[in-house]
Amino acid sequence: MFIFDSIGFGSAFALLIPLSYSPDIAFEISEAWFAAPSVIIIFYFLNILGQFVSSSNRKKEEDSKLDVIKWGVLERLGFVLIFVSLKYFLDSQYILFLFLITYAIFVYSSGAILPAYFDLVSRLLYKHRAVFFAANLTTGSLAGFLVSRYVDSQIQKNGLIEGFLDGLLIVIIITSISLISLILIREPKSNVSLKNKITIELIKQRLNNWYKIFSNSRDVKVVAKCNLVSSIPESITPFFTIWLIGFYSIDSYKIGIWVTLLLISQSIGSFIVPIVASKYGFKITYIFGLVFHFIASGLFLLEPLMFQNIIFIFAGLGSGTFVTSLSNISVEIGTVGDAGNTNAMLTAFRLPGLLIGPFIFAYFVNIENVIFFLAVSLISSIAGVLIMNFEMKNKILPQIRFWSKDS
């Protein structure tokens, strides 16, 4: 059921994540310098905010299925609203605002669903989680690959906006069907009391809980530090398409080719993780992800026109390997029954680079500064690799972990 849902999830994210079409759509409907970075910042900030607020409203070892369905429905509503805004209000002077608002609904929901989703996965899949996360991302990437190929063909025929809308309509249909798979998941009932009510005091308690998770685990501290210093490569990757089209006059239909390469390599990178981690641990696969990002930025720095396709292959390998590794690490080093909270906390450490970077990359953009930005990205990758390699003593091997009430 999880894997079937990943087909819908993957097809949607192939169109809407910052690594694909969405920043270019914003740039197409408005030439304001902040259009594209606004999409990127909305994605990272509201995704993490959604995780924080949602995790604040959850208790340890709380039932998760209803939360997953609730946020899944709102996520799909976001797809519909994005479609309506671009289809029927494209000529409005407020189109950028409408697009960003509808995009924000999707992004916030996609973050808010994660704490419950991680808890549900960690409970139902007490072993073989590495294989699941890899299969989940691989299946989703392959679905995204098929959708992006279709969108690419439509862009060449009808232009960027119409091609994107044709793909988004398919996403709406697929995700509406995939919601059924979430409804059919069977979760054991628990005796945890009703949900917390969101208050300032509760948020303070959650932040204090995050501090305890951070201070009581050396492994968590190391991963948090790595996430903090190594976020620049992820924040710079969405600008690869913008810079190639803007500075090197490449036609926009190439976006579909780049997204396709990125998604295929992302699925390969994700597939590598459980194979390697089962013997050597998630520490090494986390490092692999940063190395792949390093290569992508390095190739763009050397010769972006010659290596344009290879750049997106390594960017996809980096994304697939890194995201799958971090998802598994959150479960393995976090408190049993509270994996979603650990994942939200670790992800929050990536926020400074993911928020500040895009505005700097967009506002100060010229070819000389792009070279500087890429150099910073290389340094960021190296810093993450060095910290993880020398400070993390735990290989972070996959474990069999039960919730206490299910043991």
Encode pLDDT of 15-24 as tens digits.
898 878 898 8
Query: Per this entry, what is the length of the chain?
Result: 407
DSSP letters of 288-338? HHHHHHHHHHHHHHH-TTTTHHHHHHHHHHHHHHHHHHHHHHHHHHSPTT-
Asked if the model's pLDDT at residue 59 lies above 90, the reply is no
Q: What is the largest CA-CA distance in the chain?
A: 60
What are the pLDDT digits (tens) for 147-173?
Answer: 888 988 898 889 889 999 999 999 999
Give the dihedral sign, CA 368/374/377/381. negative
350: helix, strand or coil:
coil
402: confidence class by pLDDT, cuts 50, 70, 90: very low
Residue 405 has pLDDT above 70, yes or no: no
* Residue appearing with tokens 């009703």: 194
Which of 153-162, 223-232, 282-291, 383-392 has the least mean pLDDT?
153-162
Confidence category of residue 224, pLDDT binned at 50, 70, 90: very high
Give 61's pLDDT tier (boundaries 50, 70, 90). low
Residues 6+ apart with CB under 8 A from 112: 50, 51, 53, 54, 71, 74
The better pLDDT of the pair 229, 339 is held by 229
Q: According to the model, what pLDDT value does residue 80 have?
A: 96
pLDDT digits (tens, 9 = 90+) for 118-136: 777 766 665 666 676 677 7
Q: What's the CA gap between 371 and 132, in Å, rounded?
A: 38
What would the DSSP string read from start to end of 117-156? Answer: HHHHHHHH-SS-HHHHHHHHHHHHHHHHHHHHHHHHHHHH
Mean predicted confidence (pLDDT) in 202-222: 82
Res 404: pLDDT: 45
pLDDT at 403 over 50: no
Judged by DSSP in three states, 4 sits in helix
Q: In the chain, what are the domains? A: 2-184+215-395 (1.20.1250.20)
- What would the pLDDT profile of 232-275 be if each residue is shown by its tens digit? 998 999 899 889 988 888 887 788 788 889 988 988 998 889 89
The pLDDT score that the predictor gives to residue 4 is 65
Dihedral class, residue 281 (left if φ above 0, else alpha if ψ from -120 to 50, else beta): left
Q: Is the pTM of this model over 0.85?
A: no
Tell me the mean pLDDT in the region 211-220: 85
